[in-house]
Amino acid sequence: MIGILVVCHSFKAADGIVEIASQMAGDKVRVVGVGGNEEGSLGTSTANIYEALNKLLMECDGVVVIPDLGSAVLSTKAALDFLSEDQKSKVVIADAPVLEGTVLASVEASTGSPVEKVVQVAESAHLLKKLTN
Amino acid sequence: MDNEHLDVTKAVAIIENIKEIIDANKEFLTRLDSAIGDADHGINMSRGFTKALEKVRSNQYNDIGAVFKDVAMTLMSTVGGAAGPLYGTFFMRASMKLSGHQEADLALLAQAFREGLQGVVALGKAQLGDKTMVDALTPAIEALEAAAKQGLPLKEGLKRALAMAEKGMNDTIPLVARKGRASYLGERSAGHQDPGATSSYLILKAFCEALGV
């Protein structure tokens, strides 16, 4: 199973995105969100990200992380430094719009695709057209 | 009291002083950050070092590496903005170099700072001149290394490093930001002093003052 970790500056944002993605992807993928610093205000926490990754890696073969902006990316990279080499090799950060990317990635992962494919699909969300005309 | 070495007691005093100085400059940092960023740098840094100080005060230490490691972990969890993982990485990498040492001389300190800076650059990918904390830290650490090479006293090395950090900080004013939130502003970021370079200077200033420089 693939795990997807959504990292946002706000826990509410992360939680909402997880809710939307999970509804579409079902239970064949683990979608988890972290957001806010340890006091619950806006920001990101390396420790929270590390904990979430550790948990996901216990039940998943691979994890795709989808961060929102700025420090979400840096905090995720810093958290990866605390993982073992073996754990680290199973985690990929996707450069994708956080909501659209998470939804597409979750659906793709639910079909049993490998991490590389899930990341590719998440990143393709950059090209997603919402208005056809 | 040995003037040529940093020890555990002094390391804790340094964290106390960083907290004091960051608190005293909270509004100033926030004002700088509101010009070119998201106006949270002062608040974030103050929260981070307040928590870091609580953490180091609640522990007993045998080596200086362990003090800086606790600071690193706390900053990464509590700062919130990009400064959290960046300063966290700086202290973490430095702590790895200092691990197992009950005291550090100028040469070891210069090595620890260099490791810290390399960690920051690896994580944030900022180069010199991008209008970031790297612009204050790089010349400061070069000065520290040069002083260590010449066999200068610890305080003299730190004094020179602080002067270079201040110059590096002031030199960020005309620069156009190429990293972080300020880079979204492009040319409009020129004319403002970088908040990250400023907090780096303040941290080094607090470090120096706590050692009587």
Give the residue from A7, A8, A74, A93 with the most B CB atoms within 10 Å of its CB, the best one to mutate.
A74
Count of alpha carbons within 13 Å of B170, Cβ hemisphere only?
5
pLDDT at residue A39, as a whole number = 78
Strand order in the sheet with A62-67: A30-35, A2-8, A62-67, A91-93
CATH code for the domain of A99:
3.40.50.510
So what's the pLDDT on residue A40? 80
Strand-pairing partners, residue A7, are A34, A67
Q: What is the ipTM of this complex?
A: 0.73
Average per-residue pLDDT in chain B?
95
- What tens digit of pLDDT does each residue of B104-152 get? 999 999 999 999 999 999 999 999 999 999 999 999 999 999 999 999 9
Task: Give residue B69's identity as a one-letter amino acid code.
Answer: K
Determine, yes or no, domain membership for A133.
Answer: no
Note the pLDDT of residue B85.
Answer: 94
Q: Could you tell me if residue A18 is inside a domain?
A: yes
Write out chain A residues lying below 8 Å of B79, CB-based.
37, 43
What is the model's pLDDT at position B181? 82
Asked if B80 and B33 touch (Cβ cutoff 8 Å), the reply is no
Does residue A132 fall inside a structural domain?
Answer: no
Please report residues of B whose CB lies closer than 8 A to that of A43: 40, 44, 79-81, 84
Whether A107 is covered by a domain: the verdict is yes
Q: Do B73 and A71 touch (CB under 8 A)?
A: no
Which pLDDT value is given to residue A133?
Answer: 61
Residue A95 placed within a domain: yes
Domain-embedded: residue A10? yes
Q: Which of B209, B206, B172, B187 has the alpha carbon at shortest distance from B23?
A: B206
Contacts of residue A97, Cβ cutoff 8 Å, sequence gap at least 6: A125, A126, A128
CA-based nearest residue in chain A for residue B76 = A46
Contacts of B82 in chain A (CB under 8 A): 70-71, 74
Residue B144 region by backbone torsions, left for phi larger than 0, else alpha for psi between -120 and 50, else beta: alpha
Report CB contact under 8 Å: B80, A70.
no
Q: How far apart are CA B10 and CA B105, in angstroms?
A: 13
Q: What does the pLDDT average to over B91-100?
A: 97
Name the 3-class secondary structure at B82. Answer: coil
According to DSSP, the residues that pair with B7 across neighbouring strands are B103
Q: Which residues of A touch B179 (CB under 8 A)?
A: none
Q: Quick one: angle between helices A11-25 and A98-110, nearest 10?
A: 30
A29: three-class secondary structure by DSSP: coil
Give chain A's residues under pLDDT 70. 133
Q: Which fold has domain B6-210?
A: 1.25.40
pLDDT for B164-205, tens place per residue? Answer: 999 999 999 999 999 988 888 989 999 999 999 999 999 999
Give domain status of residue A62, yes or no: yes
Domain count, chain A: 1
State the pTM of this model.
0.88
Classify residue A19: in a domain, yes or no: yes
Alpha carbon distances (Å) from B170 to A107, B23, B128, B205, B209: 50, 21, 14, 14, 20
Tell whether the model's pLDDT for residue B102 goes beyond 60. yes
Residue B47 φ/ψ, nearest 5 degrees: -60, -45
Q: Do A38 and B89 touch (CB under 8 A)?
A: no
For residues A94 and A62, give the distance between their C-alpha atoms in angstroms, rounded to a whole number. 13
Helix B41-57 / helix B26-36 crossing angle, nearest 10 deg:
140
Q: Which domain holds residue A94?
A: 2-127
